[in-house]
Structure 1
Amino acid sequence: MSSVSRSTDANSPRFRVRPPANWMNDPNGPFRWGDRYHLFYQHNPDAPVHTNVHWGHASSPDLAHWDDHGIALRPTPDGPDEAGCWSGCVVDDGGVPTAVYSGIDHDHQGLSAICLAVTEDDGLQKWKQLPVPVVAGPPPGLDVTMFRDPFVFRFTGRRWALMGAGHADGTPSVLVYDCEDLYDWRFAGVLLDGRDPAAARAFGKRAIGWECPQLWATPGGDWVLAVALWDGDPLSTAYVTGRLVEQADGGPRFAAGTGGGPLDLGRDFYAPSVLQDTEPGRALLWGWSWESRPPEEVDRAGWSGVLTAPRVMDTHEDGTLRVVPAPELELLRAAVPFTAAPGPHRPLPLAYDLLVTARSAATVSLLRATSGAELTVRLDPASGTVTLDRTAWPRSRPDGTAPLVLPTPPGETLTVRILVDGSLLELFAGDRATATERVYRRDDDIAELTVTGMDVEVTGWELVPPNPA
């Protein structure tokens, strides 16, 4: 296997969180401690394949510029996490940052234990993994066949935890535990399951397990539950808005409302992870963007996977999500922007931030193949649609190449934000819909901006400087 430096690989994201080389998947434990944001992630330090899962660690003062700190958690020989440190979160337990995560042994069969690790320094770079799990496996009597990904939150002045689950009859669910004492957990019931009609509408009926459950409160008082949909393999992600209802004889239950649906409309987004950032009063969310190119190309590049840019999550009055890029991302913009008018081509850098505002139908082209085919984003304010067409850039994943359509309310003006970092493309249609896609630039592709339309404004910024190679 050969490894290509991210500074020379046109498809390598240089500004988003990922390790210098090899495999990464789920974001874990976003956490604010002192004057820095910390973000962990599943990571195989030895090869760009999904095995031997550790926790990697990065931190940032501003959500834009990240430093990688190498390994935080590693499998413990003969321990409850001997076969991998899977997804989880980080919490402040009486002034001690504590990782709460799924550990698996060699005989796990989809059932994890809930493990703890405590930090031994203020930089969160040294961790002590506890040898005995706080929960050895799923609760009895529920025929649980999938059990993983703890997420800790506060409600009614008490600490609770969610676990993603699936059951033998094919019903997915989110379980809830009382963990006010982080070292003494009590099963407190089912928060929500796939038999709930509102959940079925929001999440669909194909998934047999809900992974990576995430729950956060919005400034308006809504609660949002997001999950990763699993049917034996990762499918996609979804959310539902509603209320948390306190139960007299157990833990909270989720009363799903009318808002819900895909968390991201793209084909390359999974495993959401949220930080309830209390200082500015907002929820920040990251996802994992997997590779959609052939394994031999991944092996040749020597890396696999990247985390998305952080997104600020809120809800509209109708319960649907309001999603925008974190404003700190503007710190990456070059001091001098570039503009584009309908007509001439303009070269595009490897990483950029593009803002497009259209008052009538318009199209921006971002990449051109030697065949003449183009990667385009079409804005149609009258119909309230944003269409991403990348059919000329084939993918290895079996999910089709049809154009993606992002719906927004029809109106006089439509604004789109496009974040591109190497092969990672994140498209924000107003504040209503997002799509995460991987587009791999071929050697003979031409990256240039072309604009067509009668009433459209385009402003862009190259991203500078990148994270260290």
Structure 2
Amino acid sequence: MSRSTDAHSPRFRVRPPANWMNDPNGPFRWGGRHHLFYQHNPDAPVHANVHWGHASSPDLAHWDDHGIALRPTPGGPDEAGCWSGCVVDDGGVPTAVYSGIDHDHQGLSAICLAVAEDDGLQEWKQLPVPVVVGPPPGLDVTMFRDPFVFRFAGRRWALVGAGHADGTPSVLVYDCEDLYAWRFAGVLLDGRDAAAARAFGTRAIGWECPQMWETAGGDWVLAVALWDGDPLSTAYLTGHLVEEGDGGLRFVAGTGGLLDLGRDFYAPAVLQDTESGRALLWGWSWESRPREEVDHVGWSGVLTAPRVVDTHEDGTLRVVPAAELELLRAALPFTAAPGPHRPLPLSYDLLVTARSAATVSLLRAASGAELTVRLDPASGAVTLDRTAWPRSRPDGTAPLVLPTPPGETLTVRILVDGSLLELFAADRAMATERVYQRDDDVAELAVSGTDVEVTGWALVPPIPA
């Protein structure tokens, strides 16, 4: 992909060459490649004029940009934007299922379809009539968007994110075995559920971008983006699905919590990859620098690295970077030990293993303040301290703590690509943050501790498979 020359621009993650991007859409395996679509304004780095952009990869590491996949249809149900959705195999025909809005939408979308007209998924026919024109009657729905299609009990179902007039968020469910004839099948889960309230909190007035996947152990995970008029964060619940006697479907929730503990992650998208037996997850990382800087560089937003998500026996999330990301590593690693500092490249992959308390410094300000990751195996905590790098978003710069089970050894993986920092604490917690290196900052690795090992790799353009 052609990239901005802005030093903050990620070089190895999916984003368009310029202008705006937000939610990942429709991760899909087809023709031996992974396809990933995303919300995109091709004309400016602002959230407007929403199209679907498209990238694909043979290996989850090397991505090719394919430009626009879906665009608003003048006079059509998506005339004011092609918003979030998914891509499914409908009897051998790749089909996009997405939210379309018209100019009078008032927060309510129609569910639209588009069918691929080539094996590369670069040409699409957008159907002029939506399969669902709006929310079901009688539920006082004020937010209705982001369809996600999955299979359960031998049938095809779809989730739709919703919010209601009384402030209750929910996920609605449809039977869509026939992708061209949808039947409303009830409320899968709403904010009055006790497990959801514990895991998600009560601030959200709508649940966006619902995603669902089956774990290796047979449980199901529901992930949603929490919305209160502005993006908040993302959360998940582990549980099981129950068919109702009237043809409905219900989610019985158990354990849950925040999906990503960082402050720059939203709108998850999941691919249940049957070929590899994995569930792969991406998210959108927004800009947290001033608007005038975004306008100057001409781009905004990036997708995270692909993550493999599953659950532990207690139902909590298990998450690790996809193994294919190691294809980006330079042939020769670098190591670091307590003592001398060493320069860091703009993009790197760092593995830290500590058997006692240790600190890794990644960036040093002119004031002497440092961007640090502290590992404490005994207490079970990984702390990211970026207080010296203020944010434009009003959510503070306090140190971020990722909890892990106490133990003798603690392993952390740190992926840095330009301004995008992705932190994985063991396989228990993840955090996505944006850190913008200033002209007088020094990117260097420093390690302190008595029993810590650090191995790193510069990221290099991969050789396509």
TM-score range, shorter chain: over 0.9
1:7 deviates by 5.7
Partners of 1:466 and 1:292 in 2: CA distance: 29
- Three-state SS of the structure 1 residue aligned to 2:176 is strand
Question: Residues 222-266 of structure 1: CA distance to partner in whole angstroms, max 9, x if unpaired?
Answer: 1000000000111000000000011121221000013x0000000
Please give the secondary structure, in 2, of the residue aligned with 1:180.
Answer: coil
Deviation at 1:5, TM superposition (A): 7.5
Task: Please report how far the alpha carbon of residue 293 of structure 1 lies from its aligned counterpart in structure 2 after TM superposition.
Answer: 0.3
SS of the counterpart of 1:16? coil
1:286 to 277, 282, 288: 282
Distance change (3 Å), C-alpha of 1:104 and 1:445: same
Contact 2:355 2:408 in 1 (8 A): yes
Query: Which residue pairs with 1:29 in the alignment?
Result: 26
On the 8 A contact 1:28/1:41 being kept in 2, the answer is yes
Give the Å deviation of 1:436. 0.2
Shift of 1:32: 0.1
Deviations 1:319-364 (A, max 9, x none): 0000000000000000000000101011000100000000000000
The answer to whether the 8 Å contact 1:176/1:190 transfers is: yes
Are the structure 2 counterparts of residues 15 and 73 from structure 1 closer, same or farther at C-alpha, using a change threshold of 3 Å? same
- Distance change >3 Å, CA 5–CA 182, structure 1 → 2: closer
The alpha carbon displacement at 1:216 in A equals 0.3
Q: Structure 1, residues 434-465: CA drift from partner, whole Å, max 9, x if none?
A: 00000001111100000000000000000011
Whether the aligned pair in 2 keeps the contact of 1:15 and 1:466 (CA below 8 Å) is: no
8 Å CA contact 1:426, 1:435 repeated in 2: yes
CA distance in 1, matches of 2:5, 2:240: 48
Deviations 1:361-420 (A, max 9, x none): 000000001111100000000100000000000100000110000000000000000000
Cα deviation, residue 275, structure 1: 0.1
* Cα drift, residue 466 of structure 1: 6.8
Deviation at 1:191, TM superposition (A): 0.3
Does structure 2 retain, via aligned residues, the 8 Å contact 1:290–1:305?
yes
Aligned to 1:382: 378
Aligned-partner Cα distance in 1 for 2:381–2:258: 16
**1:9 & 1:346 partners in 2: Cα distance?**
23
SS in structure 1 opposite 2:324?
helix
Q: Is the 8 A contact 1:67 1:467 kept in 2?
A: no
- 1:23-53 deviations in whole A, cap 9, x for unaligned? 0000000000021000000000000000000
Name which of structure 1's ranges 459-468 and 54-63 shifts more when overlaid on structure 2.
459-468
CA 1:18 to 1:10, structure 2 compared with 1: closer, same or farther past 3 Å? same
The Cα RMSD (Å) is 1.5
> Which aligned pairs between 1:57-136 and structure 2 lie closer than 5 A?
57-136=54-133
Structure 1 residue 325 corresponds to structure 2 residue 321: yes
Q: Mean alpha-carbon deviation: is it higher for 5-14 or for 345-354?
A: 5-14
Provide the residue aligned with 2:444 in structure 1. Answer: 448
Distance 2:56 2:463 in 1: 12
1:7-32 deviations in Å (ceiling 9; x for gaps): 63211000000000000000000000
Residue 6 of structure 1 deviates from its aligned partner by: 3.5
Tell me, yes or no, if the aligned pair for 1:154 and 1:160 is still in contact at 8 Å: yes
Aligned length: 465
For the 8 Å contact 2:327–2:462, the answer to whether it is kept is: no
Alpha-carbon contact 1:66-1:467 (below 8 Å) kept: no
DSSP 3-state at the match of 2:398 = coil
Aligned partners of 1:283 and 1:312 also within 8 Å: yes
Distance 2:261 2:216 in 1: 24
* Runs of 4 or more above 4 Å deviation: 466-469
- Kept in 2: contact 1:14–1:467 (CA 8 A): no
**Contact 1:102–1:149 (8 Å) recurs in 2:** yes
Q: Secondary structure at the match of 2:73?
A: coil
Match of 1:18 among 12, 15, 20: 15
Residue 190 of structure 2 corresponds to 193
Return the alpha-carbon distance in structure 2 between the equivalents of residues 459 and 112 of structure 1.
48
8 A Cα contact 1:15 1:467, kept in partner: no
Residues of 2 paired with 1:99 and 1:29: CA distance? 7
Q: Residue 318 of structure 1: CA displacement?
A: 0.5
Separation in 2, partners of 1:392, 1:468: 39
The CA deviation string for residues 176-218 of structure 1, in whole angstroms up to 9 with x for no partner, is 0010000000101000000110111111111000000000000
The residue number in structure 2 matching 1:267 is 263
Alpha carbons of 1:170 and 1:467: their partners in 2 closer, same or farther (altered >3 Å)? Answer: farther
**In 2: Cα distance, 1:147 partner to 1:40 partner:** 21
C-alpha displacement of 1:467: 10
- What percentage of aligned pairs have identical amino acids? 91
CA distance in 2, matches of 1:366, 1:252: 48
Instruction: Confirm or deny: 8 A CA contact 1:148 1:164 kept in the other structure.
Output: yes
Does the CA contact (< 8 Å) of 2:349 and 2:415 recur in 1?
A: yes
Structure 1 CA distance for aligned equivalents of residues 157 and 16 of structure 2: 31
Distance 2:31 2:2 in 1: 32
Distance 2:406 2:244 in 1: 41
Distance (Å, rounded) in 1 between the aligned partners of 2:458 and 2:284: 23
- Cα deviations by residue, 1:67-119 (Å, 9 ceiling, x for unpaired): 00000000000100000000000000000000000000011111000000000
Q: Secondary structure at the match of 2:151?
A: strand
| Contact 2:58-2:464 at 8 Å conserved across structures | no
Secondary structure of 1:199's counterpart equals helix
Shift of 1:280: 1.5
d(CA) in 2 for partners of 1:467 and 1:71? 25
Are the counterparts in 1 of residues 272 and 280 from structure 2 also a CA contact under 8 Å?
yes
Q: 1:235 to 1:433 in 2, by over 3 A?
A: same
Q: Distance in 2 between matches of 1:346 and 1:398?
A: 33
Partner of 1:300, secondary structure, is helix
- Structure 1 pair 356–275 and aligned structure 2 pair: CA distance change class (3 A): same
Deviation for aligned residue 1:468: 12
C-alpha contact (below 8 Å) 1:81/1:103 kept by paired residues = yes
